[in-house]
Amino acid sequence: MQNLSMQNVVRNTSFSIFARQITGIFGLVGSGRTETARIIAGLTKRDFFFGGDVRFNESSVRYRTPRQAVRDGIVYVTEDRKGEGFFETMSVAENMYVGQISSNESHGLVVSMTEMRELAAGWTKKLNIKTLNSDARVIELSGTTYYDLRMSYPDYLAAARPAFEKFGARFIVRGGPFELMEGQARERNVVVEFADRETAMACYRSAEYQKAKAIRQQYADADFIIVEGA
């Protein structure tokens, strides 16, 4: 890749990647590292006249769609899984079949429902996706990972309820909409109020909650913080 450019986002970027080589691209937010990867994979178009040159196996290429790049073995794995990793209003099966259509294994423009269901059944088993069936929409999966069925959350709550009731827990925030102003955030936030920090610690360390914790850790990664109130 030589002198790759896209408006003011990517300017005169050049590097080479050889077979069996792992290359990392890093930089601050806004430096153009993500956009560079998207251009290479055909998701974003570089400048037409002065956009530089991308060469694959000694031949100049300009991928106009990701499918063309996929056929050459170039795949873009997004860092924004929720925003770009899938279609949340489509089913698990439809999301998997989209990848099939983009690959060399696609049998054309005709959508085969049988092929879609067989593909979904195979990958659901391989990836151990917790879902009632492959027709479940992605948006119905767990809010924390979008890969586990939302039914896992009620299982956790049912197990944790004895501890919450025993120690007088009161839910202040339970996964409501939020705006990230600075730093990093999780996809779901929960704030629970206790009488004091000692009570919160006792609840967390109780046998009742440790049982629920084991269920939660199967389905979600979490930051768990106990803070002394004012």
Q: Which domains can be identified in the chain, with CATH numbers?
A: 4-77 (no CATH), 82-140 (no CATH), 152-219 (3.30.70.100)
**How many CB atoms sit inside 10 A of residue 177's CB?**
5
pLDDT value at 127 more than 50? yes
Q: Element (H or E) spanning 39, and its range?
A: helix 33-40
Q: How far apart are CA 35 and CA 141, in angstroms?
A: 29
Q: How far apart are CA 169 and CA 191, in angstroms?
A: 10
Q: How far apart are CA 104 and CA 68, in angstroms?
A: 10
| pLDDT at position 147 | 42
Write b or e for each residue in 45-71: b if 16 or more Cβ atoms lie within 10 A of its Cβ, otherwise e. Answer: ebeeeebbebeeeeeeeebeebeebbe
Polymer length of the chain:
230
**pLDDT class for 196, splitting at 50, 70, 90?**
very high
Q: Residue 120, exposed/middle/buried by CB under 10 A (0-12, 13-18, 19+)?
A: buried
- 20 token code pair: 């069996």
Q: What is the rounded average pLDDT of the residues 140-166? A: 67
What's 47's DSSP letter?
P
**pLDDT class for 151, splitting at 50, 70, 90?**
very low
Q: Element (H or E) spanning 213, and its range?
A: helix 207-219
Give the amino acid at 145. Answer: T
Greater pLDDT, 63 or 104:
63
Give the amino acid at 202. Answer: A
Q: What is the rounded average pLDDT of the residues 37-66? A: 87
